[in-house]
Amino acid sequence: MFKMTSKYAATIMGTVIAIICFASTWTYIVPMLTIIPIGLPLELVFGKIFETSSYAATSTGVLLTLIALFLIVGLWFVKQIEKDKREQQNFNSIRLIFFFAAQLVIIHPLVFYFWATMNSQNAGDGQFMFGMVETFPISSVLFAILGLTIDRIKNKKTFANST
């Protein structure tokens, strides 16, 4: 099992991911590559479900699905951290890498579809796709915040391990 000994490993990893994502915003290709793998299939599914409705219904369906995925993955990861703490195991860096990889394809589309839902009246406009680039810096910063949150949970003393 791979171990991370730094008290701030998740913050460091989240900040590095945030910087890389933020710096790649203006390539236009990286924002698309992080949003399309999950966003496009969900949009196709909800486009069929809400075929007769406006784009607002489609983007809301995608947004709610992404929120659910974010919560499911996040809660699973927190439970794993708590289990490791209970069993007094070291923090698993491979699990952290997989967690951030999963969040990479969830957080960027989540922020984009939040923006898309709020701006759905412009959905027919070709400029609408530039919303990916507009929201990418915002979603990039969330990785540093996520890393801070993980380290706070990981380093929090519990009654069981404080004696």
pLDDT tier at 55, thresholds 50, 70, 90: confident
Structural domain for 36, as ranges: 11-155
pLDDT tier at 2, thresholds 50, 70, 90: very low
3-35 pLDDT, tens per residue?
A: 556 789 999 999 999 999 999 998 888 998 998
Q: Which of 28-32, 110-114, 128-132, 147-151 has the lowest mean pLDDT?
A: 128-132
Cβ-contact 123, 55 below 8 angstroms: yes
Assigned domain for 83 exists: yes
Assigned domain for 4 exists: no
What one-character-per-residue DSSP string does 63-93 give? HHHHHHHHHHHHHHHHHHHHHHHHTTPPEEH
Assigned domain for 161 exists: no
| Gyration radius of the chain's alpha carbons | 18
Q: How many domains does the chain have?
A: 1
Per DSSP, what are the bridge partners of residue 92? 3
pTM: 0.85
Assigned domain for 1 exists: no
Assigned domain for 81 exists: yes
DSSP state of 53: S
Assigned domain for 123 exists: yes
Assigned domain for 111 exists: yes
Assigned domain for 89 exists: yes
Tokens 């489609």 belong to which residue? Answer: 58
